Amino acid sequence: MSETIFSKIINKEIPSDVVYEDDLSFAFRDINPQAPVHILIIPKKPIPQLTDAAISDQELLGHLMLVANKVAEMEGVVDAFRLVLNNGAGAGQEVMHMHFHLLAGRSFTWPPG
Ligand code: DGP
The per-residue pLDDT for range 15-64, each reduced to its tens digit, is 999 999 999 999 999 999 999 999 999 999 999 999 999 999 999 999 99
Whole-number Å distance, alpha carbon 63 to ligand 1 midpoint, is 21
Closest Cα to atom 14 of ligand 1: 31
Verify cis geometry, omega within 30 degrees of 0, for the bond prior to 111.
yes
H/E element, 10: helix 5-10
Largest CA distance in the chain: 37
Mutate to test the pocket of ligand 1, among 40, 50, 83, 97 (most ligand atoms within 8 A of CB): 40
pLDDT at 1: 54
Q: What is the mean pLDDT of the chain?
A: 97
Instruction: Decide if 59 contacts 96 (C-beta within 8 A).
Output: no
- Give the length of the chain: 113
> Hey, what long-range contacts does 110-113 have (CB within 8 A, 24 or more apart)?
112/82, 112/84
CATH of span 5-104: 3.30.428.10
- Domain-wise residue ranges, the chain: 5-104
Q: Average pLDDT of 78-95?
A: 97
Is the pLDDT at 6 greater than 60? The verdict is yes
